[in-house]
Amino acid sequence: MALSEKEIKRLREKIDQIDNQLLDLLNERAKLVLKVGRIKQAGNYDFHMLDREYEIYERLVKRNSGPFPTEAIRDVFREILSASLSMEKLLKVVYLGPEATFCHIASIQQFGHSAGFFQAKGIADIFDEVERGRMDYGVVPIENSTEGVINLTLDLFIDSSLKICAEVLLQVSHHLLSRSGKIEDIKRIYSHPQAIAQCSNWLSKNLPHVQLKEVFSTAKAAQHAAEDENVAAIASEFAAKYYRLKAVRKSIEDIAQNFTKFWVIGTKSPGRTGDDKTSIMCSLKDGVGALYHMLEPFAGQGINLTKIESRPFKKRPWEYVFFIDIEGHAQDKNVSAALEEMKEKTQFLKVLGSYPRSKLSEKTILQIPLAEDSRK
């Protein structure tokens, strides 16, 4: 055996030893998790705390000295935390189905593969499932960087008692998928209206005469493509893997930097993490300079507004509801003071939730390479 082969064998044996140690440590960790679970159950504590997870991720990222990639730490420990939590209780998460939608991907990115995932047919159904206590969390789309906000999601918060618990940002890349992977086989293309709009330039240039069919999700489009060899779908890599499709063309979106934001909704917002956002909704008192006076407390307290949207107040014709995102947590002194002052200048004010600012990882375990022939 050559010297280099002996060295590789020796190093691999050391790696195996470390893997064994890691497994032993994971089991030691699991025993402690079970003890914590029994204490929480006896004391009627919340069994899942998003701010605790955020604290773990941030501490480990700061501790990492390399060469293990920092961007992979959250992915690895998300699965450890997800598996650990499942030993205490199955975390039930409802998302906009069917399987392999971007909403499904966002749910896994937030909660890991060991959570229990359940489909809903509509965004209103997600709110209803969580409000009735049948699900612990829901994941709903709120905004796309190129197509704007999802108005239905905003409207549902007007009457809902649910809180925003977290935000998830996904970098969305659309792929043209089919059973054969051959462009000449395509007679029809299915996808969600937004996905079609986001790929309109590529489609008009490369497949101008192919019929476009709108469906309610990119995953549903992938289902159609899996059933008919003359149908292609505009969908994600995750959908390609899930429905055993091949890539006709990858990344056909017109704008490369395309992101979709999702909100995790539940009954209780997490505590302060030090890097938080707060979302509120309010309506104005009628009068000159009403909008200016409503926003004035944020300037006075040195608070940055990151977003403001207006929607018609359906219960009161010609009145509007404003949705505002600000930096900071509702428990921060300056944010709390600004909100108190703001109450006097609005007809109503509702805090939708305070939650950790999303950390978008460029690399995620959900970015699965497309197989050359996944149907074999």
Which residues are part of the catalytic machinery? 260, 262
The whole-angstrom separation of Cα 39 and Cα 168 is: 30
Q: Is 9 exposed, middle or buried (0-12, 13-18, 19+ CB in 10 A)?
A: exposed
Report the Cα 245 to chain-centroid distance in Å: 24
The whole-angstrom separation of Cα 134 and Cα 125 is: 11
Q: Which of 135, 172, 174 is nearest to 267 (CA)?
A: 135
Angle between helices 102-111 and 73-88 (to 10 degrees): 80
Angle between helices 73-88 and 3-43 (to 10 degrees): 40
Return the bridge partners of 350, or none.
Answer: 281
Q: Could you tell me if 340 and 150 are in contact, meaning their C-beta atoms sit under 8 angstroms apart?
A: no
Query: Between the CA of residue 340 and those of 131, 275, 301, what are the distances in Å?
Result: 27, 21, 12
How many CA atoms within 13 Å lie on the side-chain side of 166? 21
Which SS3 state, helix, strand or coil, does residue 251 take? coil
Q: The tokens 């939608």 sit on which residue?
A: 101
The whole-angstrom separation of Cα 70 and Cα 60 is: 9
